[in-house]
Amino acid sequence: MDAEIREYEEADYEACRALWAQLTERHRVIYGDPAIGGDDPGGGFDAYLANPNRRVTWVADHGGEAIGMAGLIVHGDEAAVEPAVVARAFRSRGVGRALVARAVEEAQRMGVRFLSAQPVARNLEAISFFLNCGFDILGHVDLFQDLAPGQGREWKSGITLHGRRLRY
């Protein structure tokens, strides 16, 4: 796919906010929870832009249209690719891989020691994508308790970690 990877500009705000909304909508679908992201599924983008640890955000530009974005959140010698999202119509064409490659390049240039990606547990496509991009070390696990069962999410069973069966 012919897309230019460039740094985010103010003029990209609406398109990138819409990409963030697509990511939020995907999370709503895979978790069966329409409350994820609240009333404004693109609203998390504003908090992302305000994150003081955000070093850079890239946009995949195709014919003047922002069709994907990825960012780099840095904490000392560790960093995370956050977010990594490509518009539905342009997925599986190498755009995401080009965005992540740019993040890896920049992290190396900055002297980052560990680069992570943190897809949600049910986003099997994202997990597979990041594995294919070379993220093959398990670094952190978030364990949850559902303190309001029956109020929006049904948990799937199927992951075993250290001999324990987990829901996700």
Structural Rg of the chain based on CA atoms: 16
pLDDT, residue 130, reads 98
pLDDT, residue 67, reads 98
Average pLDDT, the chain: 95
Question: What are the C-alpha distances in Å from 10 to residues 49, 79, 102?
Answer: 11, 23, 20
- In this predicted structure, the answer to whether residue 152 has a pLDDT above a threshold of 80 is no
pLDDT tens per residue across span 7-43: 999 999 999 999 999 999 999 999 989 999 999 999 9
CATH number at residue 49: 3.40.630.30
As for how many domains the chain has, the answer is 1
Residue range of the domain that includes 86: 4-138+147-167
pLDDT, residue 153, reads 82
pLDDT tens per residue across span 93-151: 999 999 999 999 999 999 999 999 999 999 999 999 999 999 999 999 999 999 988 77
65-85: average pLDDT = 97
DSSP for 31-91 reads HT-TTTTTT-TTTHHHHHHH-TTEEEEEEEEETTEEEEEEEEEEETTEEEEEEEEE-GGGT
pLDDT, residue 64, reads 94
